Amino acid sequence: MPRVAACIRLSDDELTELQMTARSVSGEYRLVQRARVILAWHEGHTIPETVALTGLSREGCRRWRRRFEQERLAGLRDQRRPGRPQTLSAETKALVVQAACTGPVQGQGRLSQRRIAKQLNVSQTTVSKALRSMDLRPHKTDYWCGKPTDPEFGQKMTAIVALYMNPPENALVLCVDEKTQIQALDRTQPVLPMRAGDARKLTNTYTRHGTVSLIAALSVHTGAVDAKTMERNTASNFLTFLKRLYRTHPGKHLHIVVDNHSAHTAAEVKDWVQRRRRLTLHFTPTYSSWLNQVETWLSILTRDVLRDAVWRSKEQLVSELMAYVRAYSKDRAKPFAWTYTGQPCSVQRHGT
């Protein structure tokens, strides 16, 4: 008769914690394996079956079963091992923490463990231990979004999102922005093609054939893109592009989302827009150009066309930019999917 594995009884709290640990993608893998051993035991799996499920050895599976049976969840954690007594004094730790919290000195923009160690005449290991004990990371920087500086942030944001989610009847919502100073860079040596086990190679030296700017209009509800190149990003060029859009879409009321660049807020632009019955400009709140969906498309353009590109001339750059715009609108255009679920910090935009 086949051998039947004995099960381990788990409380609800133990089962919940073990399941959370076993499913963790960011936790320590050894703890994930140990949790899976106990869950397999709970489900009645034998030692050989547990070995196949977890990748641990037979002895490893038996060890963690014994530890759990004796100490429950605490038994799955590593035990303190004997070793040299801690040599990090409270005074040294205080000096390290003070140096880390004081900030860079002598014009340096960022502190490192090596610089702190040199400053205090201690080892880098000592600095690392002191910082870890206080969970301090002076070598890292995180960014956060502070309070909006635009007093009309809520009103402007709500109006733009409403255009995206529920546009007026007979309206065409376009997001417009420029990508300026695109460099036509040529390499001074031939490109070495990719080979098995070896990436494509570009020389570090280059020749610059000039720059161009691109102005693009993304149709929010179809994903199609209309664009043109220009020498410089000026109010005159922006107004010319607006007139082109106005002529291209007769009978539609154009709602155009733009940021607060000086070219978009120039007097000549405002005067012309005020005389048009079928056109409304919507300005994103200050420092909130991320609300403009064409920014997402411009990042796609950068990845697909501009990154690590080689251009023999400025004319070639212009030609291939426009070829990409036409191909994108024909074959890949579709609206970006907004997946906001009502929870803070959960907005994602997916492009093609």
Q: The domain spanning residue 280 has which CATH number?
A: 3.30.420.10
How far does CA 52 lie from the centroid of its chain? 37
Q: Are residues 44 and 172 in the same domain?
A: no
pLDDT of residue 348: 42
Distance CA 38, CA 187 (A): 59
Q: Are residues 238 and 286 in the same domain?
A: yes
Place of tokens 């969840």: 73
| 166 domain residue, yes or no | yes
- With 0-12 / 13-18 / 19 or more C-beta atoms within 10 angstroms meaning exposed / middle / buried, residue 311 is buried
Q: Are residues 157 and 122 in the same domain?
A: no
Q: Are residues 291 and 256 in the same domain?
A: yes
pLDDT of residue 14: 83
Query: In Å, what is the CA distance from 115 to each residue of 89, 108, 125, 191, 216?
Result: 20, 10, 12, 40, 46
Q: Are residues 109 and 63 in the same domain?
A: no
Q: Are residues 178 and 302 in the same domain?
A: yes
Q: Coil, helix or strand for 87?
A: coil
| 180 domain residue, yes or no | yes
Domain span at residue 195 reads: 153-350
Q: Are residues 303 and 172 in the same domain?
A: yes
User: What pTM was computed for the model?
Assistant: 0.64
| 116 domain residue, yes or no | yes
Block means of pLDDT (10 residues each) for the chain, length 352 residues? Answer: 63 83 79 86 85 85 86 78 70 86 71 85 89 84 77 92 93 96 91 84 89 96 96 95 96 96 95 95 92 95 92 94 96 85 50 42
Q: How many domains does the chain have?
A: 3
CB 305 within 8 A of CB 323: no
Q: Are residues 57 and 101 in the same domain?
A: no
| 184 domain residue, yes or no | yes
| 101 domain residue, yes or no | yes
| 211 domain residue, yes or no | yes
174-215 confidence digits (pLDDT tens): 999 999 999 999 988 888 888 888 888 888 888 999 999 999
Q: Are residues 70 and 101 in the same domain?
A: no
Distance CA 337, CA 146 (A): 26
Residue 186 neighbours by CB under 8 Å, 6+ apart: 206, 207, 208, 209, 310, 311, 312, 313
| 18 domain residue, yes or no | yes
pLDDT of residue 347: 40
pLDDT of residue 236: 96
| 64 domain residue, yes or no | yes
Q: What is the largest CA-CA distance in the chain?
A: 92
Q: Are residues 71 and 94 in the same domain?
A: no
Q: Are residues 174 and 279 in the same domain?
A: yes
9-68 confidence digits (pLDDT tens): 888 888 888 888 888 777 778 888 888 888 888 888 888 888 888 888 888 888 888 888
Q: Coil, helix or strand for 333?
A: coil
**Joined tokens for residue 238:** 């922006």
Q: Are residues 59 and 120 in the same domain?
A: no
